[in-house]
Chains A and B, each alone.
Chain A
């Protein structure tokens, strides 16, 4: 069963005469554990495609099925709850909660996904260890380096064992070696947990880590089409 499936998905952005097609007739599918790179220039529709995949946007036409559930059949509240369980996010900026420690930034995702507290704590500790964050776990985000912040983001994206991780330009704010290291960490950690990853990026350094590459231009997939 596919983790994510988009069938003929289109989505406009804006209203009336100013509306533009952000995503046009896109079909794609991700299998469990698969790492797919979504490449394209700025404004090509990468982020919109991620948002559609997570149910943050609803398609004008077509259907999105996430972890076995067609999103168009779910109420907004059920879609939100399903997203919390099935999707992990890595955003372009660190996007950590500034008032919480690194550990709590990870745990909050486990709690939002409905993991029992003990399980959430264990999984958090496991990821902290796996991502070598032990000495920084009880620090606030403002006290972490850029690389440490991204590692916390990776842990947050994976703590609830989602079926799918959506990463939006995860290496954009990191320099060369660090960017590659973080990307490799994301891919390896997600793979060990069986999560599929859809990475929207400009960064060609990530190509080697991907199972498949898709290219999107003006909202259309131009290569790697299913």
Chain B
């Protein structure tokens, strides 16, 4: 108990100046906010890909040979592919899809065009939007369902008209889980998109639903024997391919920016603790002279840094969620998705960085001579 009392009092005596601590805490909050937002943006992107490519109604994806993802693909399937798949025993339903980038503009957006990832679907077939926030799926050539972030960017809502590659279409649905940040999904009638893209007899993918109880591997074998020059992927592997593809673009930048953020936080902590050690040098010498152990002081300072990191990241986490709420209302283009395990991982990294950073000035503290207490 006396030792705990001594530790508490030592802890209190090793306080930095309030303003300096506040500035460092704010720095940690901002840098952790940056890392959290980047992570949440990445998570949102991955979730969008999962939401679409991983729809539970789709068991298999059939793509042209050499194409293993939705994001970057150029191959095409012949138009008889869906009939051939549908005729395969074990297949319950198919959804032929055409994917292509389309230019979309609106009168209410000053005519500034957006390039959206257009998905052509058959009415009530597989491969439609994973979640409809409002309205319905397009059922005719003059209709579209837009991702709600795209609708925000185009400044349109339900029943408004947009120009798709110059052709007017009415917005009949708003979707979510379809925002890839750099672009968004827009769903159209299959034939209309084929016409817009100039490939009336082709598909990009075919989504396949199996009959209940059908053996997936046997159906894959059957499909492989019927179709040539195609890739047949399970839902999970298709999702993994798409996640890999979107991550390939954003992850290296995200990691670099995140690393820079953590480095800035660590430098702030070094400056704070170094400042504290310099400022309290005489007092630390007195503590060492009267019997405090250098070891306990050497633990308490990094502990202070760790506590500051926890407080900073907690504030950053709260700020990130607040920011996400605001963005969702005022600028849904930037979708953020949070997960507590991301927060905990980032907290761990920041605390480790802060404690390690504090170790630098603490190492200098160990060379402090208690006899300095005797100097006037």
Contact = CB atoms under 8 A, between A and B. Distances in A.
Contacts of A209: none
A210 interface: no
Contact of B13 (A80, A92, A99): A99
Interface residues of A, number: 39
A99 B14 CA distance: 7
B27 interface: no
A192 B371 CA distance: 29
Interface stretch (B105-113, B249-257, B287-295): B287-295
Nearest to A51: B371
Contacts of B8: 111
A184 to B, nearest CB: 22
B12 interface: yes
A116 B2 contact: yes
B370 interface: yes
Contact of A100 (B9, B291, B370): B9
A155 B289 CA distance: 16
Interface in A154-189: 156, 168-169, 172-173
Contact of B291 (A81, A92, A95, A169): A81
Nearest to A153: B286
B290 A109 contact: yes
A29 to B, nearest CB: 22
A115 interface: yes
Contact of A92 (B1, B5, B374): B374
A224 interface: no
Nearest to B13: A97
Contacts of B325: none
Interface in A87-103: 87, 89, 91-93, 95, 97-100
Is chain B's binding surface mostly helix, strand, loop or mixed?
A: helix
A95 B289 CA distance: 11
A77 interface: yes
Interface in B34-62: none
Given A95-B286, A116-B1, A120-B5, A83 B291 contact: yes
A56 B289 contact: yes
A113 interface: yes
A84 interface: yes
B2 A50 contact: no
Given A116-B1, A117-B1, A92 B289 contact: no
A57 interface: yes
Nearest to A141: B283
B267 interface: no
Given A83-B290, A111-B9, A113-B291, 12 more contacts: A51-B374, A54-B289, A56-B289, A80-B291, A84-B291, A92-B374, A93-B376, A97-B286, A108-B6, A116-B2, A117-B2, A117-B5
Interface of B: 1-3, 5-6, 8-10, 12-15, 280, 282-283, 286-287, 289-293, 370-371, 373-376
Interface of A: 47, 50-51, 54, 56-57, 77, 80-81, 83-85, 87, 89, 91-93, 95, 97-100, 104, 107-109, 111-117, 120, 156, 168-169, 172-173
